[in-house]
Amino acid sequence: MPASSPSDREMHTETELLLPWYATGRLDAEDRKTVEAHLSQCEACRALLAEELALCEAVIAMPCPTPAVAERAPVPGACPEACSEAGSEVDSESRSNRRSGAFSEAFSELAPTPAPSPVSMSVPPAQTQDRARRHASGGWARMRHSLSRPRKPAVFLAAQAATIALAVGAVYWKAPSPAAQPAPYRTLSAAAPAADTAVAGNMVVVFRPSTTEARLRATLRDVGAQIVAGPTSADAYVLRVAPAARDAALLRLRADSAVLLAEAIDPDRTR
């Protein structure tokens, strides 16, 4: 290595740092010129480049550890073929094939099918496995379902909440009743809350896992919110606050250190 002067050593170091992107052809013209000027006079860096290319090829060729995806058998951790394919599916033909598969699945899922098994909310390992299976069988279908609802993004969580509510069956609760608004009764296994504006949630909130129940209650009281549904499998709660107070409530919740996410889910509302 002819790194005899400080400048040479700097060039050598800089070249070594840039080699991965030189190998992948992702350097801009100036960086590329720097690297090539140094490579032309540094044998050590040329050897490093050869290693770099081999390492890059090896990483690209590795089977991808992706989980089962939408149109594949939904068995997490047991899909080397699907994983491998997902990792290398970069050509337009395979994309096209997968896309048509996703379409098929989307529409088959929208057709009447037996209800899914109830989701266990009390056994974490089973929940994890079950969630993985549900996810694996959903993909675009779930996404499409979310888009087709007359709501904005956070309604995805609300939809999740409704699904969980149906799964847990005959669970009833009485929401707390702030003075300003009488608390309505609502069965979680009842019809979709969207049809009932009196009890429909208008925001979704996720608290930090470390939030105590007392803190959660205090936060809800503080903003005058009632729980409409939840917690979902993603630990989200669908809440309702008086429409006029919602913006202020959202601001306060977002500023609260115990809150990870607070989003409006009103259909005519933009983010």
Partner 1 sequence: MADGHVRHAQSWKDDADAALIARVVARDQGAFQELYDRYRPPLTRFLTRHTRRPAMVEELLNDTMLAVWNQLAGFEGHSKLSTWVFTIAYRKAARALERNDDPVDTDDPDYGASDAPGPEETTERGQTHAALRQALQRLSSDHRTVVDLTYFHQMGYREIAEIMDCPVDTVKTRMFHARKYLKKILSGTSPDWL
Contact set for partner 1, span 164-223 (CB under 8 A): 206, 208-209
CB 239, CB 201: distance < 8 Å: yes
Rounded to whole angstroms, how far apart are CA atoms 133 and 185?
33
- Among 9, 33, 99, 254, the residue binding partner 1 under the rule CB under 8 A is 99
- Among 181, 184, 199, 235, the residue binding partner 1 under the rule CB under 8 A is 235
Scanning 60-68, 110-118, 218-226, 244-252 for contacts with partner 1 by CB under 8 A, the matching segment is 60-68
258 binds partner 1 (CB under 8 A): no
Residue 229 bridge partners (DSSP):
238
131-to-45, 69, 105 alpha-carbon distances in Å: 48, 13, 18
61 binds partner 1 (CB under 8 A): yes
Q: Which is nearer to partner 1, 78 or 183 (CB)?
A: 78
Q: Which of 26, 3, 18, 28 minimizes the C-alpha distance to 49?
A: 18
The mark string for 75-94 relative to partner 1 (x by CB under 8 A, - otherwise) is -xxx-x--x--xxxxxxx--
33 binds partner 1 (CB under 8 A): no
CB 225, CB 177: distance < 8 Å: no
Provide the CB-side half-sphere exposure for 152 (13 A, CA). Answer: 13
267 binds partner 1 (CB under 8 A): no
Which 36-55 positions form the footprint of partner 1 (CB under 8 A)?
49-55
